Amino acid sequence: MAKQAPQSDPAQDAPEVSAPQHAAAGLPAVGHSLRMAAEQMGARRTLATLLKVNQQDGFDCPGCAWPEPDKPHTAEFCENGAKAVAEEATERRVRAEFFAAHPVADLAERSGYWLGQQGRLTQPMLLDEGATHYTPVSWDDAFALVAEELKALDTPDGAAFYTSGRTSNEAAFAYQLFARRLGTNNLPDCSNMCHESSGSALTETLGVGKGSVSLKDLYQADLIIVAGQNPGTNHPRMLSALERAKRAGATIVSVNPLPEAGLERFKNPQHARGLVGHGTKLTDLFLQIRLGGDLALFRALNRIVLEQDGVDRDFVAEHCYGFEEFEAQARRTDRAEVLAATGLPWEQIEELGRLVLKSEKIIVCWAMGLTQHKHAVPTIREVVNFLLLRGNVGRPGAGVCPVRGHSNVQGDRTMGIFERPGDAFLDALGREFGFEPPREHGLDSVDTIRAMRDGRIGVFFAMGGNFVAATPDTEVTEAAMRNCRLTVHVSTKLNRSHVVTGARALILPTLGRTDRDVSARGAQFVSVEDSMGQVHASRGGLRPPAPGLLSETAIVCRLARTVLGPRDTVPWEDFATDYDTLRDRIARVVPGFEDFNEKVRRPGGFTLPHGPRDTRTFPTATGKANFSVNPLTAPEVPPGRLLLQTLRSHDQYNTTIYGLDDRYRGIKGGRRVVLVNPADAEELGLTDGGYVDLVGEWSDGVERRAPHFRVVHYPVARGGAAAYYPETNVLVPLDSTADISNTPTSKAVVIRFAPDSGA
Ligand SMILES: Nc1nc2c(c(=O)[nH]1)N[C@H]1C(S)=C(S)[C@@H](COP(=O)(O)OP(=O)(O)OC[C@H]3O[C@@H](n4cnc5c(=O)[nH]c(N)nc54)[C@H](O)[C@@H]3O)O[C@H]1N2
Ligand SMILES: Nc1nc2c(c(=O)[nH]1)N[C@H]1C(S)=C(S)[C@@H](COP(=O)(O)OP(=O)(O)OC[C@H]3O[C@@H](n4cnc5c(=O)[nH]c(N)nc54)[C@H](O)[C@@H]3O)O[C@H]1N2
Ligand SMILES: [Mo]
């Protein structure tokens, strides 16, 4: 078995700890982001680039999927968007000499942070079978090699095509078409580990697996509940929207096991008062809930609404299905069970109940704190019950707001990146391109790992991302990756998935969002869809990091031509060089994209239709919005153990580590920390500043260990602990996934503490 991945350099494992902060952004954030950007790009390039972020003639920020306001500020970016841009627009380069100097075995000993810091990838590289080093390869030879390995498979289902959510609509559409022309629906994506639970719950209950609110709705809401989300770090531009909502009179409630600085107060760096003043208080009521207690909380709220006769009877009668069963169960909700699951005082739940009954228009926002639990799908269904009860779907100022992660993860799904595509989509695709697409469901991310482990996947192809670091059970996953014949990564930066490989491996470098994309037929642009269903153009302006780099779209199309042969009827050459031709086809296949080429050129783009939001039509099996009955469950934690959530620091983008600080939480210079409530720490004998190993416990009895973590006494909710991902992915069992969505339970890992075994 492969040696365990070195996840950070020992020298970085001495974090300093000070008191957590109580406000986000402000002047330190501006300074921090500009310093990081200037380090990577130099001062002039920094300014020229950052001024183009999220502007109508510029590029979409490669950071998060939060939408842009109609009239963006001159600088419509945030601290962490600036870091994402700097990471991509860096002047540092990884060239052939770098690979000649570093055997792959050496690179596999480096931390992910070190790998990412080496700079942008510049030319296609091949690691041949038995070779110790990557060596340069031409594009044509690289494509021929992939074709050879694909043709050697017994079945197209022996290949898996992963997508990370930065891929443009155009590239994503071409990519899924290629996979389906080949004959497989094996299209796992990062969404499987992210908002899949939201998609599952929303599709079933409302008929559309996406959020139902726009920015304007947020500005009009009476009550905004933010549950399981840390926008101060992960969606900083959302704080401006919350600030505006607040000024318009909204009450903001945050539900979180951690007091997150960004939700407490916000110093808007785009206004003078935000740079120097105390900022705006955002959260009016903070419910410090236990990990996994949200289902119980929303059930309790639903009981309160029913008992206080707060139901919107007309809405329920006209638009909903299944109310009686739901009502019978919700009225029986047991208070003691709620208190045990949430760890909240009943008075706080009642206080929120009063706010709910007072509010006409309610929005619930959520992210990974709700989606990455075993009972994530029922939890989100219960959120939907909560909103339906008072008619809070399909009217201004109200609705569901799953806040998406990667900047185009929602668009990729719209373009057909999905292992379980619906028949309507496949029918339209088949009609447009004159073929019969495969109907059998493909593999999601977790099932792909199982199939690789069991020798059923010969070729693993990744459009972006960092599969081995982002997925659970690192040792199992790395062994599974090494079990493939060929692994291919289309990437901007070096990462761990390039050095834990199949028998053969290819790195195909590509253009990023910030880069100019010029084909033989002239300048091209791409499009993306944000978290609120708004589609718009994105144009990079920077000189690409190396001559001859191909866009993601061009790579897919040239590969497809090589694999499928000259007689394949899809005009891959046109698609590769003139994205308008690709958009014309998307317009005929994907609902809402009619006249795509014209609409995408409008300033600000266009909004996709959304039945529940626009007309209160619910394309579900019953034709109505479905209430659901969800047993009240919460994670069980044996005595002497804690439930660990794995989350993001302020200086990272998923597996990309920008730096070693987590400013708002008071952590500096290291990432191997575990945050524990002082009362739990005392019971377990964990001194602040002491070092321990984290040991995962799971029914398969396998010992999963993450060595050498510094204990930090921190105000987390009792019974829970927190540590950073991806270092803690070694602890997440592959088979510990959410019911229905199959999303790894990254926010609920039972751990015990063992003596420190050293770095
Ligand atoms: N700068 C930056 N931006 C990013 C990313 C990044 O890594 N860096 N990642 C992007 C991606 S792909 C995504 S999906 C999003 C992720 O955005 P988030 O979901 O905000 O990311 P996490 O760090 O996982 O934070 C989870 C939050 O939920 C809370 N939480 C955990 N468990 C529970 C629970 O059981 N109940 C409740 N109520 N709360 C809980 C945690 O305390 C924490 O505040 O951000 C996107 N944006
Ligand atoms: N334990 C734990 N595990 C988790 C999570 C968690 O909270 N806890 N969160 C999960 C979530 S929400 C997600 S979304 C996944 C993320 O999983 P992934 O999306 O697979 O991971 P990233 O770290 O975002 O991928 C970073 C890599 O993408 C490449 N890249 C960046 N920009 C581009 C581009 O424009 N084009 C191309 N082709 N490549 C590019 C770079 O090479 C970079 O190294 O991780 C999941 N894993
Ligand atoms: Mo995500």
pLDDT digits (tens, 9 = 90+) for 669-718: 999 999 999 999 999 999 999 999 999 999 999 999 999 999 999 999 99
The three-state secondary structure class of 351 is helix
How many whole angstroms separate alpha carbon 652 and alpha carbon 20? 18
93-194+408-438+461-472+484-609 adopts what CATH topology? Rossmann fold (3.40.50)
Tokens of residue 750, six digits: 């039972």
CA of 427 to the centre of ligand 2 (A): 31
Residue 111 has pLDDT above 80, yes or no: yes
Question: Can you name the CATH fold of 196-403?
Answer: Dimethylsulfoxide Reductase; domain 2 (3.40.228)
The response to whether residue 252 sits with its C-beta less than 6 Å from ligand 1 reads: no
- Find the farthest-apart pair of alpha carbons in the chain and give their distance in angstroms, rounded: 72
Q: Indicate if ligand 1 lies below 6 Å from the C-beta of 645.
A: yes
Q: Whose CA is nearest to atom 28 of ligand 2?
A: 465
Predicted local distance difference test score (pLDDT) of residue 1: 34
pLDDT at 59: 84
Confidence (pLDDT) at 27: 62
Q: Per the structure block, which two tokens stand in for 114?
A: 């070190």
Residues in the chain: 759
3-state secondary structure of 386: helix
> How do residues 704-730 score in pLDDT, each as one tens digit?
999 999 999 999 999 999 999 999 999
pLDDT of residue 9: 54
Sheet holding 459-463, edge to edge: 135-136, 125-127, 504-509, 486-491, 459-463, 159-163
- Asked whether the CA dihedral 367, 373, 374, 379 is positive or negative, the reply is negative
Please identify, by atom number, the ligand 1 atom nearest to the C-alpha of residue 64: 47
> Can you tell me whether residue 235 is helix, strand or coil?
coil
CA distances from 688 to 291, 649, 663, 695 (A): 22, 19, 19, 18
From CA 372, how far away is CA 360, in angstroms rounded?
A: 30
User: For ligand 3, a single-atom ion, which residues have Cβ within 5 Å?
Assistant: 194, 405
* pLDDT of 223 strictly over 80: yes
Strand order in the sheet with 251-255: 285-287, 251-255, 223-227, 362-366, 399-402
For the stretch 585-627, pLDDT in tens is 999 999 999 999 999 999 999 999 999 999 999 999 999 999 9
Task: Kindly list the domain boundaries of the chain, sorted by start residue.
Answer: 93-194+408-438+461-472+484-609, 196-403, 642-755
Ligand 2 atom nearest to 493, measured from its CA: 42
| Distance of CA 746 from the midpoint of ligand 1 (Å) | 11
Q: Which CATH architecture has domain 642-755?
A: Beta Barrel (2.40)
- Closest ligand 2 atom, residue 88 Cα: 32
Give mean pLDDT, residues 1-23: 64
Give the pLDDT score at 67. 87
pLDDT at 244 over 50: yes
Residue closest by Cα to atom 34 of ligand 2: 512
Query: Is the CB of residue 720 below 6 angstroms from any atom belonging to ligand 1?
Result: no
Q: How far apart, in whole angstroms, are the C-alpha atoms of residue 273 and residue 636?
A: 46
Q: CB under 8 Å, gap of 24 or more: what pairs does 484-488 form?
A: 484/452, 484/457, 484/458, 484/459, 484/460, 485/149, 485/152, 485/458, 485/459, 486/145, 486/146, 486/149, 486/458, 486/459, 486/460, 487/459, 487/460, 487/461, 487/462, 488/146, 488/459, 488/460, 488/461, 488/462
pLDDT at 74 over 60: no
Say which amino acid occupies 390. Answer: R
The answer to whether the beta carbons of residues 671 and 15 sit under 8 Å apart is yes
- Position 296 scores a pLDDT of 98
- Provide the pLDDT confidence category of residue 481 given band limits of 50, 70 and 90: very high
**Average pLDDT of span 338-367:** 98
Q: Is the pLDDT of residue 11 over 50?
A: no
For residue range 413-464, list pLDDT tens digits in order: 999 999 999 999 999 999 999 999 999 999 999 999 999 999 999 999 999 9
Q: Kindly list the protein residues whose Cβ atom lies closer than 6 A to any atom of ligand 2.
A: 164, 166, 190, 193-194, 368, 405-406, 463-467, 470, 490-493, 495, 510, 512-513, 552, 646-647, 654-656, 725, 728-729, 732, 746
pLDDT at 2 over 60: no
Mean pLDDT of the chain: 94
Q: What is the pLDDT, as a whole number, of residue 50?
A: 74
CA of 652 to the centre of ligand 2 (A): 11
Model confidence, pTM: 0.96
Which of 294, 352, 671, 747 to mutate to test ligand 1, by most ligand atoms within 8 A of the CB atom?
747
> What pLDDT sits at residue 5?
45
Q: How far apart are CA 195 and CA 164, in angstroms?
A: 13
Evaluate if residue 232 carries a pLDDT over 50: yes
pLDDT of residue 196: 98
Mark out the alpha helices in 152-235 (DSSP H runs). 169-182, 196-206, 215-220, 231-234
Confidence of residue 64 (pLDDT cuts 50, 70, 90): confident
Residue ID of nearest Cα to ligand 2 atom 22:
465
501-505: Cβ within 8 A, 24+ apart: 501/104, 501/127, 502/459, 502/460, 503/129, 504/126, 504/127, 504/128, 504/129, 504/145, 504/149, 505/126, 505/127, 505/134
Site to probe by mutation for ligand 2, drawn from 166, 169, 291 as the one with most ligand atoms within 8 Å of Cβ, is 166
- Index of the ligand 2 atom closest to the CA of residue 552: 38
Q: Ligand 2, closest atom to CA 162?
A: 20
Measured over the CA atoms of residue 365, residue 649, residue 497 and residue 447, the dihedral's sign is: negative
Question: In this structure, are residues 198 and 402 in contact, taking their beta carbons and an 8 Å threshold?
Answer: yes
Nearest CA to ligand 2 atom 39: 464
CA 274 to chain CA centroid, Å, is: 28
Residue at 258: amino acid letter: L
Quick one: pLDDT at residue 536? 95
Closest CA to 87 of 758, 709, 656: 656
Express as a percent the part of the chain with pLDDT over 70.
95
Instruction: Calculate how far, in angstroms, residue 478's C-alpha sits from the geometric centre of ligand 1.
Output: 25
